[in-house]
C-alpha cells in the first residue's frame, strides 16, 4: 500500500493552493456578503482550466484523475466552498452524463465547450422529489424526432450561470425507475426559464435556482443513454459527485482547523495561549483525527473510481464521513473562537454556514447510510 501522492498530484495541489490563496480567498467574504461571484473570477477559473479538470485532453480538458480532482476541490473549498461547488457540479454531475452516455456527435459538439468554461448544471430534484429522486414528475413526451419537456426543477447549482443542463424527466403518467430518461437541454431552448435564485444560509456566492421547463422541445439526439436509463445515469453521476462533495467538506474542515490553530496561538486566557489549555488541545486532536480518517476514505473512493472499480458504497461512505467530520470540526472551530467566532469578523462563521449543506445535497447523510446499508446487506446478508 502506497500513500504517497504522485509528483503530478502534488504539483497540481500546490498550484491550486497558491491560486486559491491569491485569487479566491481575498474575495470570499465579500462574495458571501453579496451572494454573487465576479465574472472576472469565473474568467480566471476558465483560463486556469478549472472547468476542464475532468475532461479528456483531446477535448480541451486537463484529464486529471479523480484523486487530483479531489485535491483540487479541497484546495478551492478551503478558500471558498461556493466557488468549489460550481466547479464540482460542472466537472461531475453536470458533464459526466454527457461524457458517458451522450452520442458521439453530442460529445464532440458540447464537451469542448464545457471544458472551455461554458457551465453545466444537473437538474434532478423537484419540490416533491429530493431524497426520493425517482418520484420526479417532470414530463418528457415524445413527439416525432423530439421530446417535449414540462416541469419544474429545484436546487439547481449553477442554475443561472449554466449554458447546459442535464435534465431528468419521465414519460407522462408513468411510475417507476424505468420510465425516467436523461436529456441534455441547452440554455437558449425556448421554454426554459430560470425562475428563482434561492437566498441561502451558506455557499452564498454559488447560484442555486429553480429551473422551469415549459414545453421545451429538444432533439431526440439529446437523449443520454437509452430511454429508461435516466435514473441509473443520475445515480452513476452522483457516485462520482459524492466523492467531490466529500473533498469539498474536507477543504472547509481543514480551513476551520487552520483558522482555529492560528487563533489559539494568539489568544491569551488564564495567562497563557489557548494552545496550552488541555480542553483546546483535545479539540485539535479530535478535529485533526476525524479529518484524517475521512480524507483516507475519500482518497480510497477516488482511487477505486480511477481503477474503474465499483465505488457506490465507498463514495457514500466518503461523503457521509467527510461531511459529518467537517460539520463537527466547524462547530468546534466556533467554540474555540468563542464569541468572536459567532461574528462575521471571523471566517469560521462563514465556514460553519457553508459546511451545513454538504450533509444535505448530492444525497443527505440519511441517504448515504441507506446506500451503505443496502450494500452491506447485499454483501453479508
- Of residues 161 through 180, those in contact with ligand CAA by CB under 6 A are 177
Candidates 253, 254, 363, 372; binder of ligand CAA (CB under 6 A) is 363
Binding mask 272-311 for ligand CAA (x = CB under 6 A): ----------------------------------------
Kindly write down the DSSP assignment for every residue of 307-376, as one continuous string.
TT---HHHHHHHHHHHHHHHHHHHHHHHHHHGGGGGSTTSHHHHHHHHHHGGGTTTS-HHHHHHHHHHHH
Residue 83 CA: distances (Å) to CA of 69, 150, 266, 381? 14, 30, 30, 42
Q: Per CB under 6 A, does 370 bind ligand CAA?
A: yes
DSSP 226: S
Candidates 59, 98, 355, 371; binder of ligand CAA (CB under 6 A) is 371
DSSP 95: T
Q: Per CB under 6 A, does 122 bind ligand CAA?
A: yes
Residue 312 CA: distances (Å) to CA of 117, 170, 266, 317, 369? 28, 24, 44, 9, 12
Binding mask 212-231 for ligand CAA (x = CB under 6 A): -------------------x
Q: How far is the CB of 49 from ligand CAA (least distance, A)?
A: 22
Q: Given the rule CB under 6 A, which of 164-172, 195-203, 339-347, 355-363 is the region that contacts ligand CAA?
A: 355-363
The Cα 354–Cα 312 span in angstroms is 25
User: Left if phi > 0, otherwise alpha if psi is -120 to 50, otherwise beta: which for 171?
Assistant: beta
Q: How far is the CB of 223 from ligand CAA (least distance, A)?
A: 18
Which residues lie closer than 8 Å to 225 by C-beta, 6 or more apart? 97, 101, 182, 232, 233
Candidates 157, 171, 206, 222; binder of ligand CAA (CB under 6 A) is 157
Q: How far is the CB of 340 from ligand CAA (least distance, A)?
A: 32
If you count them, how many residues does the chain have?
381
Q: Per CB under 6 A, does 120 bind ligand CAA?
A: no
Residue 364 CA: distances (Å) to CA of 242, 316, 324? 10, 10, 11
Q: How far is the CB of 260 from ligand CAA (least distance, A)?
A: 28
Complex with ligand CAA: residue 231 or 247, whichever CB lies closer: 231
Q: Per CB under 6 A, does 317 bind ligand CAA?
A: no
Q: How far is the CB of 331 from ligand CAA (least distance, A)?
A: 22
Complex with ligand CAA: residue 334 or 367, whichever CB lies closer: 367
Catalytic residue among 74, 75, 314, 362: 362
Candidates 68, 80, 297, 312; binder of ligand CAA (CB under 6 A) is 312
Q: Is 362 a catalytic residue?
A: yes
> Does residue 253 sit in helix, strand or coil?
helix
Q: Per CB under 6 A, does 131 bind ligand CAA?
A: yes
> Does residue 167 sit in helix, strand or coil?
strand
Residue 335 CA: distances (Å) to CA of 25, 26, 192, 223, 344? 23, 24, 45, 50, 15
Q: Per CB under 6 A, does 235 bind ligand CAA?
A: yes
Q: Per CB under 6 A, does 355 bind ligand CAA?
A: no
Cα angle 50, 56, 59; round to 5? 90
User: Which residues form the interface with ligand CAA (CB under 6 A)?
Assistant: 89, 122, 124-125, 131-134, 155-157, 177, 231-232, 235-236, 238-239, 312, 361-363, 367, 370-371
Catalytic positions are 362
Amino acid at each position: 500500500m502506497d500513500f504517497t501522492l504522485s509528483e503530478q498530484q502534488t504539483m497540481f495541489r500546490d498550484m491550486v493552493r497558491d491560486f486559491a490563496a491569491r485569487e479566491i480567498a481575498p474575495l470570499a467574504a465579500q462574495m458571501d456578503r453579496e451572494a454573487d461571484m465576479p465574472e472576472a473570477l469565473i474568467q480566471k477559473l476558465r483560463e486556469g482550466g478549472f472547468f476542464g479538470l475532468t475532461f479528456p485532453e483531446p477535448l480541451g480538458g486537463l484529464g486529471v484523475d479523480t484523486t487530483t480532482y479531489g485535491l483540487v476541490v479541497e484546495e478551492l473549498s478551503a478558500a471558498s466552498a461556493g466557488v468549489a461547488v460550481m466547479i464540482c457540479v460542472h466537472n461531475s454531475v453536470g458533464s459526466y452524463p454527457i461524457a458517458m452516455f451522450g452520442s458521439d456527435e453530442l460529445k464532440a459538439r458540447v464537451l469542448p465547450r464545457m471544458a472551455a468554461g461554458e457551465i453545466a448544471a444537473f437538474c434532478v430534484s423537484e419540490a416533491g422529489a429530493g431524497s426520493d429522486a425517482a418520484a420526479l414528475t417532470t414530463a418528457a413526451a415524445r413527439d416525432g424526432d423530439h421530446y417535449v419537456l414540462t416541469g419544474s426543477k429545484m436546487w439547481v447549482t449553477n442554475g443561472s450561470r449554466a449554458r447546459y443542463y442535464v435534465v431528468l424527466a419521465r414519460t407522462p403518467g408513468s411510475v417507476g425507475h424505468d420510465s425516467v430518461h436523461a436529456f441534455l437541454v441547452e440554455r437558449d431552448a425556448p421554454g426554459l426559464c430560470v425562475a428563482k435564485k434561492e437566498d441561502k444560509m451558506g455557499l452564498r456566492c454559488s447560484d442555486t435556482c429553480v429551473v422551469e421547463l415549459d414545453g421545451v422541445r429538444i432533439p431526440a439526439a439529446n437523449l443520454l443513454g437509452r430511454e429508461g436509463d435516466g435514473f441509473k445515469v443520475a445515480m452513476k453521476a452522483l457516485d462520482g459527485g459524492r466523492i467531490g462533495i466529500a473533498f469539498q467538506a474536507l477543504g472547509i474542515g481543514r480551513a476551520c482547523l487552520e483558522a482555529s490553530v492560528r487563533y489559539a496561538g494568539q489568544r491569551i486566557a488564564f495567562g497563557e495561549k489557548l494552545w496550552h489549555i488541555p480542553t483546546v488541545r483535545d479539540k485539535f486532536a479530535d478535529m485533526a483525527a476525524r479529518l484524517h480518517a475521512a480524507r483516507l476514505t475519500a482518497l480510497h473512493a477516488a482511487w477505486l473510481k480511477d481503477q474503474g472499480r465499483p465505488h457506490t458504497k465507498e463514495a457514500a461512505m466518503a461523503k457521509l464521513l467527510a461531511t459529518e467530520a467537517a460539520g463537527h470540526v466547524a462547530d468546534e472551530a466556533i467554540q474555540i473562537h468563542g464569541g468572536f467566532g459567532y461574528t462575521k469578523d471571523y471566517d469560521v462563521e462563514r465556514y460553519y454556514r457553508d459546511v451545513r449543506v454538504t450533509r444535505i445535497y448530492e444525497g443527505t447523510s440519511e441517504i448515504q447510510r441507506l446506500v451503505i446499508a443496502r450494500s452491506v446487506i447485499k454483501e453479508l446478508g
